[in-house]
Amino acid sequence: MSIRDEIELFRLEHLLKELKGKEGRGTELISLYIPAGRPLSEVMSVLKQEYSTAQNIKDRTTRHHVLEALTSIMQRLKLLSRTPPNGLVVFCGYVASDVPGKERMEIHLIEPPEKLRTWLYRCDSVFHVEILEDMIRERDIYGLIVVDRSEAVFGILKGRSMQILKRITSGVPGKHRAGGQSARRFERIIEQLAHEFYKRVGEYANRLFLDIPDLKGIIIGGPGPTKEEFIKGDYLHYELKNKVLGVVDTGYSGEEGVYELVKRSVDIVKGVRLFEEKKVFQEFMHHIARDTGLATYGENEVRRALQMAAVDKLLLSEQLDKHRIRAVCPNCSYEFSLTVESRVESVKCPKCGSQADIESVEHIVEELGRMAKNTGARVFILSDATEEGRILRRTFGGVAAVLRFRI
């Protein structure tokens, strides 16, 4: 996955987290999921329908709020010539505030990172962000093969969605027939047929999986010992063979077997992600412990290293919640940047103490991520699910880097 995607997903994750915490005064927050390929004209007619239904809402304020939200959604959709390639998600409504009567109208249009297949229109007291959340939670791609002596099925697993790519049958007859001389010959023939079949399975796997750029791994399943025979024999291209993450026993073969494999792959997939996080953190710790000069940590130190294009790998805690502010003083024209823990309305000029004008506010992960992107560094966002992620946050302030050269 490219750094750009990584940062954009982070931004989206953050927005969803924020939206999740918001509430409407009544049942008046609209969540609209428009699947890829759905014509906007159809969406508009649904919204018009909803508009006339909403005119019957008893509570006067709620009615006004819903009608206003629907109006602004329709206005925004009118500006688009067509549904974006991956579909579109809209969240709109008056969000409650601590001060009564201070509700604010918000509208968010989000282009999903993958093709959206779900239609949803909901008017509720909260925003429904779950579908998008699911989409971004797991985004790596895995190849799936379920094989036994009679058939093989290939699929890919991306996030929680699985797609069957191909099914082939073997034509290998069952193992047991009459005894004696001919039985042994017959057995040799089936072994030969099985070998031919595995060869075909390998060829299909190479054709289907080798060209997937970000293939994270392959998981192989099936009932019985066939899958092991298949892996032991050199039927898979070595690049794919190196990517085999797990071999799983399934009760079924065929498509049903693939569905079973998906269910059992959850832990394997989770393990891979955590393993990567551990690995990069261990690399960082290796340099720290041996004082090689090829690692640094702390927001300021890492920012300095980024400015020198010295960062190879940037490690950020998922829990980081700081913002970077750029401001300018209207009194003495001093320009400065600073990091704040939470959103602030105003900052003072460090030179003269006057109220400074805030020029921009950016989440620190975006800011550092952008610097990493501009200098070709890889970004790793570590979750709190691992000990490593927690140490990064607690001991190293959530910001660390492995360097290309000593600075």
Among 1, 105, 289, 332, binds Zn ion (CB under 5 A): 332
Full DSSP string of 46-64: HHHHHHHHHTT-SSHHHHH
- 399 binds Zn ion, rule: CB under 5 A: no
Of residues 153 and 329, the one with the C-beta less far from Zn ion? 329
Pick 15 or 328: Cβ nearer Zn ion: 328
Q: Closest distance between Zn ion and the C-beta of residue 107, in Å?
A: 37
The nearer residue to Zn ion, 252 or 334, going by C-beta atoms, is 334
Binding-site member from 182, 282, 331, 337 for Zn ion (CB under 5 A): 331
Tell me whether residue 184 or residue 351 sits nearer to Zn ion (CB atom): 351
Q: Which is nearer to Zn ion, 349 or 377 (CB)?
A: 349
- Nearer to Zn ion by Cβ, of 117 and 351: the residue is 351
Q: What are phi and psi of 38, to 5 degrees?
A: -75, 120
> Helix H segments across 99-180?
130-137
- Closest residue by Cα to residue 63 from 31, 25, 96: 25
| Residues 160-219 within binding reach of Zn ion (CB under 5 A) | none
Q: Does 315 bind Zn ion (CB under 5 A)?
A: no
Distance of CA 135 to the CA centre of its chain: 6
Single out the segment in contact with Zn ion by CB under 5 A; choices: 125-133, 192-200, 329-337, 374-382.
329-337
Considering only residues 340 to 369 of the shown chain, the ones binding Zn ion according to CB under 5 A are 349, 351-352, 354
Tell whether residue 334 is a contact of Zn ion (CB under 5 A): yes
The β-bridge relationship of strands 215-222 and 244-249 is: parallel
What tokens does 373 get?
A: 């992107």
Least distance in Å: CB of 328 to Zn ion? 9
SS3 label, residue 136: helix
Measured CA to CA in angstroms, residue 85 lies from 1, 30, 124, 216, 315 at distances of 19, 22, 27, 25, 32
Look at residues 163, 142, 387 and name the one whose alpha carbon lies nearest to residue 268.
142
329 lies in the site for Zn ion, by CB under 5 A: yes
Is 327 a binder of Zn ion (CB under 5 A)?
no
Distances (CA, A) of 270 to 175, 203, 322, 404: 38, 28, 27, 29
Give the interface with Zn ion as residue ranges (CB under 5 A): 329, 331-332, 334, 349, 351-352, 354
